[in-house]
Amino acid sequence: MEHFPASAWITESAKAADQGPGNLLRVVLLVSVVGIGLVAWFLLRGYGNK
């Protein structure tokens, strides 16, 4: 097992954080799609009762 100094780990995590809005954008899109599906289900389920 390789041992890295703490400064190397911090540097690597800082580089990973500078990759852009990739992870945040994925989470926002996933929550939006799930939310749209739930809203559509909630609105359309009322039409089946008539």
How many CA atoms within 13 Å lie on the side-chain side of 10?
3
Q: How far apart are CA 29 and CA 32, in angstroms?
A: 5
What per-residue confidence (pLDDT) applies to 31?
Answer: 97
pLDDT, tens only, 28-40: 999 999 999 999 9
Q: How far apart are CA 9 and CA 11, in angstroms?
A: 5
Would you say residue 38 lies in a domain? yes
What per-residue confidence (pLDDT) applies to 16?
Answer: 61
What per-residue confidence (pLDDT) applies to 22?
Answer: 87
Domain count, the chain: 1
Percent of the chain with pLDDT over 70: 56
The CA radius of gyration of the chain, in Å to the nearest whole number, is 21
Range of the domain at 27: 22-50
Would you say residue 16 lies in a domain? no
